[in-house]
Amino acid sequence: MAILLIRQDGKTSQWLNAFKSQASQIECFDYNEPHPKETITMALVWKQPHGLFEQYKNLKCVASMGAGVDFIFEDPSFHQELLMTRVVDPLLITDMEEFVTAQVYAYMKGLYQYHSQQSFSLWQQNPYLRKKDITIGIMGMGVLGSATAKALSDQGFNVLGWSNSKKQIEGITTYEKVDLDLFLEKTNVLVCLLPLTPDTNGILNESLFSKLPRGAYLIHVARGPHLVGEDLIQSIDKGQMCGAAIDVFPTEPLDTKSPFWGHSKIHITPHCASISSPESVVAQIVVNYNRLTSHQPLLNQVDTLKGY
């Protein structure tokens, strides 16, 4: 029995080192190196090339190296007999809380505007917002969304949350799926922390932006295909949206020709809101690997029928 690591971005050695230092008794292989296929029972993956899973006849579980699992569902070789797990990790949660909070403050204090003024040696004070001027609406109140909502609320922001099912979180007004419009009409800083599913693909579009108060701001840290890029640009150009901070894109790295790069009101980061730390995450993979081996229920298992 062994674990196969499948990712193509040069970070596999960091993960292998974390296994070596925390669980040297477990056999782990890099997909890019020769390995005995019949020994593999767990695949630990991040944006794996599609079509591989069916080559591993003893494979029982596909584990995401991150919180999201959309790229596993998109792989036609993933089938319903396989188990799927994802990462729920305290470090991933605090990193996301901090990133979204930093973006909220950068927007509120107009820091991006000063950054661009610097390139013109322009000394000019601009009006800025205060907490009382802002209502932050978080789409997706799961592990990351609810923790981020709480962190912002604890700092005195007015926070709303929207999710499939209604949540009870102290200090936060929550809305269930059917109440999307009520949630949007009160939100002027929209944060997307939804999983990417057929239901949420393209959800950040012109029609949704038009339901926000005029001049709303978007912080998008979920998945690229949630956002219809042309709709955002048009909504900014018309003044319906006042700008956006975007961390995730349908194709990553973002094409150098993308109009987002040159747009003065769009602020781009390279999918870095919250990055899985192998040192932190490997412990839960080891627990799950041992559970798999002893036929116990897995932690952080994804409901493959629900799709997230």
Task: Indicate which residues carry an active-site annotation.
Answer: 223, 271
Question: Which of these ranges, 46-54, 110-118, 127-135, 187-195, lies near ligand NDP under the rule CB under 6 A?
Answer: 187-195
How many residues are there in the chain? 308
Dig out the tokens for 219 from the structure: 């912080």
3-state secondary structure 67-116: CCCHHHHCCCCCCCCCEEECCCCHHHHHHHHHHHHHHHHHHHCCHHHHHH
Which of ligand OXD, ligand NDP, none has residue 308 at its interface (CB below 5 to 8 Å by kind)? ligand NDP
Please report, as residue ranges, which positions from 234 to 263 form the binding site for ligand NDP (by CB under 6 A): 247-248
C-alpha dihedral, 30 to 31 to 35 to 41, nearest 10°: 90
Q: How far is the CB of 141 from ligand OXD (least distance, A)?
A: 16
**Number of residues binding to ligand NDP, judged by CB under 6 A:** 29
Please report, as residue ranges, which positions from 207 to 226 form the binding site for ligand NDP (by CB under 6 A): 221-223
**Number of residues binding to ligand OXD, judged by CB under 6 A:** 5
Q: Under a CB-based contact definition with an 8 Å cutoff, are residues 171 and 159 in contact? A: yes
Is 117 or 258 the residue whose CB approaches ligand NDP more closely?
Answer: 258
Is 143 near ligand NDP (CB under 6 A)? yes
Please report, as residue ranges, which positions from 28 to 87 form the binding site for ligand OXD (by CB under 6 A): 66-68
CB atoms within 10 A of CB 194: 26
Q: Which of 12, 48, 113, 274 binds ligand NDP (CB under 6 A)?
A: 274
Amino acid found at 40: I
Task: Measure the CA–CA gap between 270 and 268, rounded to whole angstroms.
Answer: 7
Q: Which residues contact 219 (CB under 8 A, 6 or more apart)?
A: 100, 103, 104, 107, 189, 190, 191, 192, 244, 245
Is 224 near ligand OXD (CB under 6 A)? no
Please report, as residue ranges, which positions from 14 to 53 form the binding site for ligand NDP (by CB under 6 A): none
Please report, as residue ranges, which positions from 264 to 303 form the binding site for ligand OXD (by CB under 6 A): 275-276
Q: How far is the CB of 119 from ligand OXD (least distance, A)?
A: 31
Amino acid found at 155: Q
Is 194 near ligand NDP (CB under 6 A)? yes
CB atoms within 10 A of CB 156: 9
For ligand NDP, the binding residues (CB under 6 A) are 66-68, 140-145, 163-165, 177, 193-197, 199-200, 221-223, 247-248, 271, 273-274, 308
